[in-house]
Structure 1
Amino acid sequence: MTRSYRQDPLHGLTLQILLTRLVERYGWEDMADKININCFSNDPSIASSLKFLRKTPWARQKVETLYLHTQWPDADD
């Protein structure tokens, strides 16, 4: 069964938004430590990483999981 929009914490967030926020939070080096894929450690860029993640479901899942488990500051702060 698919998740409804209200229950999906990633609803409305594109992969580009997720990746950009994670890179701003951790940087490429920490991203490569957290998720061991070449596009984060070997000449990383948003464009090349998006290309890889869009065609590699297991890697995309790891990025989404990291995003969901990251502690984000409240928007009101």
Structure 2
Amino acid sequence: MVVVVVMMRSCDCGVVLQGVGPRALMCPFCNKVFAGRNQHQRLRYHTLTHTGEKPHACPFCPHRARLKFNLHKHIRALHKDQLSS
């Protein structure tokens, strides 16, 4: 039995798989399975690789990042002088 689950954001859709885990989710693009802790978040981040979406914009330049952590690394590396002001 396969149950389709659609979550709150447009890129957060997956399929709940019976027999793989109690609440395993599968990527609708490549069928990669996400099970265990933080599976919804891992599926959301993974889906960004398929959609090409980069939701986090740098406030100092046109750079955009898929993950917020990567944006913070970018800002610390390239905009140190602008952070202190």
- TM-score, reference length from structure 2: 0.27
* Higher normalized contact order (CA 8 Å, seq sep 6+, divided by chain length): 1
Greater helix proportion: 1
Q: Which has the larger radius of gyration?
A: 2
